[in-house]
Amino acid sequence: METPILDGVLFILARIIEFINIGMIILFAVRGVPARYIYAVLSVTVISLLFFVVSLLFRSEDVLKLSFLVTVGAFVVMILIARHALSKASIDIILPEASRCPVCSAFVKQEGAIALHVGHSYLFFDQEEHLRKFLESPEDYAKIRRMEIKSDMIGKAYVYKNGVWLELKNT
Ligand SMILES: [Zn+2]
């Protein structure tokens, strides 16, 4: 009945998974992933650690196995959150050199740059305010800049902050 080797393996696997979860939390923070995803990974990690502590207190094989199952469950949840969060945070947009804002003609600097998905490319703005102005009447600005823009070509907007493009909400 006693399976100390299996227990040892479970124990080590569970600790490795928790270690990876903590690494993911740090990666999320560095990548500028929204706080709600960080809290989500943090809570599944804490739940799995709590079960581990309970399994130590009861020193029961069943509780230890249950704790391992919870840890694996937490890991799966973490992977799903990570896939979702990183796919949102890792959009690769290249700001062309000497890009100008279609509203005010200012050169667009990388930090704080706004990118608007239009058709198969992006339009860049120097500030969010000008993106809003543009979105109020895209056809007018398109005419001035001799661009072909229809409202159904306009997609999501992104802002460049601390090395990553993040989706802009409420645009
Ligand atoms: Zn501008």
9-63 pLDDT, tens per residue?
877 887 888 788 888 888 888 777 778 888 888 888 888 788 878 877 887 778 7
158 Cα–ligand 1 center, Å: 15
CA-to-CA dists, residue 129 to 33, 103, 113, 114, 123, angstroms: 23, 10, 12, 10, 14
Task: Give dist(CA 41, CA 37) in Å, integer.
Answer: 6
**Of the candidate ranges 1-10, 38-47, 79-88, 89-98, the one whose mean pLDDT is the lowest:** 1-10
133 Cα–ligand 1 center, Å: 9
Task: Give dist(CA 129, CA 117) in Å, integer.
Answer: 16
Cβ(17)–Cβ(72) below 8 Å = yes
140-164 pLDDT, tens per residue?
888 877 778 887 889 999 999 877 8
Q: Which residues surround ligand 1, an ion (CB under 5 A)?
A: 101, 103-104, 106, 126, 130
31 Cα–ligand 1 center, Å: 27
Return the DSSP state at 110: S
104 Cα–ligand 1 center, Å: 4
CB atoms within 10 A of CB 117: 16
Mean pLDDT of 96-124: 93
Task: Give dist(CA 166, CA 71) in Å, integer.
Answer: 31
Domain residue limits, the chain: 3-89, 110-166
Strand pairing class (114-118; 164-167): unpaired
Q: What is the DSSP string of 45-103?
A: HHHHHHHHHHHHHHT-HHHHHHHHHHHHHHHHHHHHHHHHHHHHH-------TT-B-TT
* Token pair recorded at residue 89: 């945070």
* Token pair recorded at residue 109: 């600097």
Residues 6+ apart with CB under 8 A from 168: 114, 128, 131, 156, 157, 158, 159
